[in-house]
Amino acid sequence: MSLSSCWSRPKQKSVENKTLPMISLTDPPPTRPAQNPNPNPSSVQADSIISSLLSFPSSTPFSIACSFDRELENALASASDDASVQDRLLNRTIYLASVLLESTKRRFRERASAHNALSWVLPPELTVKVFSKLDTKSLMQVAACCTVFNKCAMDRSSYAHIDLTTATRQADNEVVCTMIHRAGKELRSIKLGHVIRRYGPEPNPMCFNGPFLYSLSYNYGFLGRRLRSLRLYNIGPMNYNSLSNVLSVCSSLTDLRIVGSCVFTHLFMTLSKKCRLIEHLCLVSSHPVGTIDASAGSHLIELVTKSPYLTSLTLVGFQLTNEMARNIVENSRRLKYLNLSRSPKINGHFLRDLGNSCKESPLKTLIMRNCVKLEETEVLELCNSLMKGNFKFIRHIDVSSNNGLVSDGGVRSRSYNPTFPLEKLKEERPDATLVADFPLERSGKRYLVEGDDEELREIEMMEAKNDEVDDDDDDDDSFDDDDD
């Protein structure tokens, strides 16, 4: 089903002579014209003929067809020998039959609509709430099911969470704009693009003609201010200026995820100035991002410093330095999840400084997968720091890599079987888990590639877990305040 024509009138299906518990319908039937209080004689005669037809005694379809064939043949025989006259008679017969069929279908739909309205157990408000959980493609299919569902699917709340990741072929600028305006003031989240699968061919990046989110900027950003979550997966070349203009009006944005792009380093300034309520920021580069200069690095630190609600930060494929990584942790107020995977410059030395300066850091999850310069000695030092009581709130650390760890400070010397005091760490810090998986290349096993759907699901699970803990902590704090 094409989303651009999803609300056009669907084709009617033939009506079978049997009763169904839930009947498939199309659009609501047209309003019947009011009856003439003074019908003319021809109308009375037509009503009489149709009434006689409807009261025709039960008979087999074959016998009815034979009778109709005989009468039609007699009518053709009594007509003029002119072929055009006979053609007009046949065309008129087809037209009358089609009118009778369409009228019967309308009555069938009216009865079925009333039946569905009575048999559907959920009230409209709950039905709309259920529909709001569906992806947009499924919502289109539901809307074409019956009149009852169509009415609920037209509600603005059903489009509060727009998800076009399952309908990438039909999604274009017009469809995205239509869905945004259909949601109106109820708009809360948007998901667009391809989510890459671990297995099977990777889809080509999804491309739009022009700025595909420009509708959010209409009316001084009225719709943009309603948006809470924006997730863009593997969308083709994105213009920085258009994306920056959109984000500048999304002042209420709390969740931003952009996967498979290379315009990230220029967004830090916009986010730091316009999106101060951000809680979850996930940026996954399709290719290694170039070195972050001093200006972009300062805007990144400013973003972390001036975002009091930032609890989750994912920067995959960025050439962050050890100093930048240290500043991110030191300047964050509530950061609990940090993912710096595929950072080609980080060797882990910044963890030593953090162990002394951030003993009370709220950081709970640290992911550094496939960091090619991560050194074995730095990970060992991290283990010792944990056993000394540093990183008090840390619960999960992942330093796995397909390329192993740098051994003895040498770039070419790789260690695939490092010796870490995991047993002792488990005794000293039973609440902390260190994941260090280094599969040999010849074994055929490869570690998760960041950016695929399983990695993103894992990120979401980690963040959701952190959010649950945050809620519990907030409840405890409020209880203490009440006591005071």
Residue 459 vs residues 95, 137, 339, 341, 397: alpha-carbon distances, Å? 62, 25, 9, 12, 13
pLDDT for 12:
41
Calpha distance 242→308 (Å, rounded): 27
- pLDDT per residue over 434-443, tens digit each? 988 887 654 5
User: How many Å separate Cα 75 from the centre of its chain?
Assistant: 62
Residue 97, token pair as written in the block: 């039959």
Please report which confidence band the pLDDT of residue 469 belongs to, taking 50, 70 and 90 as the band edges: low
Q: What share of the chain has pLDDT > 90, as a percent? A: 11
Q: Report if pTM > 0.85.
A: no
- pLDDT per residue over 367-378, tens digit each? 999 888 899 988
pLDDT for 366:
92
Residue 385's Cβ-side half-sphere holds a number of Cα atoms within 13 Å equal to 25
Determine which of 72-81, 124-133, 443-452 has the lowest per-residue pLDDT on average: 443-452
Please report which confidence band the pLDDT of residue 409 belongs to, taking 50, 70 and 90 as the band edges: low
User: Does residue 206 carry a pLDDT above 80?
Assistant: no
User: Are 266 and 300 in contact, with CB atoms under 8 Å apart?
Assistant: no
Residue 105, token pair as written in the block: 């279908």
- pLDDT per residue over 131-150, tens digit each? 888 888 888 888 887 777 88
User: Are 399 and 435 in contact, with CB atoms under 8 Å apart?
Assistant: yes
Determine which of 50-59, 100-109, 204-213, 374-383 has the lowest per-residue pLDDT on average: 204-213
User: Are 214 and 203 in contact, with CB atoms under 8 Å apart?
Assistant: no
Give the pLDDT mean for 332-360: 84
